[in-house]
């Protein structure tokens, strides 16, 4: 089996890669789309690919998303601080981002004779991001299958797992978590305060392990 994987350079997709790598042929796809932290997460994604000796495809959507409304993008306002599940985090939603990624991945899968598109969405994403929820993933799977005449479908094995559980599995699979990038801010060193950092730190805490990456401020 051949699987197309959306690899953001974050914790979740890197953990998913560590699982899939041993089981199937994986073609990682790295998106850039004009988010503030894009160059850092893209770099992380490339380092993860190098770690696994995989050659990724790079899809650039920066210009496509110039007209999109979101504080996650360079064209938007400030990234909010606080917990990942706080209402303020909805400012970081990029409308239909995952749907757009899934659609392009489906086309790439069919073009490259891959049968599956793998997504690392997990339960922590459900609250804020409508296009990460189980009912969306189920509907998108059907839509992708219809669009490709049954040749391509989705897999989202972390859909009902917490980020802590995803990380726990990744650590067992020896995922290179030290190479990953999670922070939403436009700075090299992770801030430790945005919702995305807070959720990552919680996941490491749940696994009883210190996060190996650097933070701008002491995170305990």
Task: Give the interface with a second copy as residue ranges (CB under 8 A).
Answer: 57, 59-61, 63-65, 67-70, 94-100, 102-104, 106-112, 130-131, 133, 135-136, 139-140, 142-144, 146-149, 152
CB 60, min distance to a second copy, A: 6
Q: Smaller CB distance to a second copy: residue 83 or 133?
A: 133
CB 76, min distance to a second copy, A: 10
Distance CA 119, CA 102 (A): 8
CB 55, min distance to a second copy, A: 12
Q: Smaller CB distance to a second copy: residue 60 or 214?
A: 60
Give the SS3 label for residue 73: strand
Distance CA 86, CA 28 (A): 31
Q: Smaller CB distance to a second copy: residue 56 or 170?
A: 56
Helix axes 134-147, 97-111, angle to 10 degrees: 30
Q: Smaller CB distance to a second copy: residue 85 or 187?
A: 85
- Least Cα distance to 40 among 218, 217, 213, 219 occurs for 213
Count of Cβ atoms closer than 10 Å to residue 81 Cβ: 17
CB 150, min distance to a second copy, A: 9
Distance CA 35, CA 74 (A): 6
CB 116, min distance to a second copy, A: 14
E strand intervals along 33-88: 57-60
CB 159, min distance to a second copy, A: 14
Distance CA 78, CA 67 (A): 17
Q: Smaller CB distance to a second copy: residue 72 or 177?
A: 72
- Give 187: exposed, middle or buried? Use CB within 10 Å, 0-12, 13-18, 19+: exposed
Q: Smaller CB distance to a second copy: residue 11 or 102?
A: 102
């Amino acid at each position: 089996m051949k699987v197309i994987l959306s690899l953001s350079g974050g914790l979740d997709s890197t953990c998913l890669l560590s699982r899939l790598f041993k089981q199937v042929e994986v073609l990682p796809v790295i998106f850039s789309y004009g988010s503030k932290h894009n160059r850092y997460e893209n770099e992380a994604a490339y380092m993860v690919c190098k770690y696994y000796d995989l050659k990724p495809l790079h899809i650039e959507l920066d210009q496509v998303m110039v007209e999109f409304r979101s504080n996650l993008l360079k064209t938007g306002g400030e990234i909010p601080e606080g917990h990942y599940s706080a209402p303020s985090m909805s400012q970081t939603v990029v409308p239909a981002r995952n749907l757009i990624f899934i659609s392009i991945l489906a086309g790439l899968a069919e073009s490259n004779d891959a049968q599956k598109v793998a997504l690392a969405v997990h339960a922590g994403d459900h609250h804020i991001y409508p296009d990460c929820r189980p009912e969306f993933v189920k509907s998108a799977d059907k839509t992708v299958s219809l669009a490709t005449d049954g040749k391509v479908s989705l897999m989202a094995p972390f859909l009902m797992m917490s980020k802590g559980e995803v990380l726990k599995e990744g650590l067992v699979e020896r995922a290179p978590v030290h190479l990953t990038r999670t922070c939403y801010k436009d700075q090299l060193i992770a801030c430790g305060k945005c919702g995305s950092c807070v959720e990552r730190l919680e996941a490491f805490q749940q696994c009883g392990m210190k996060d190996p990456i650097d933070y701008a401020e002491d995170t305990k």
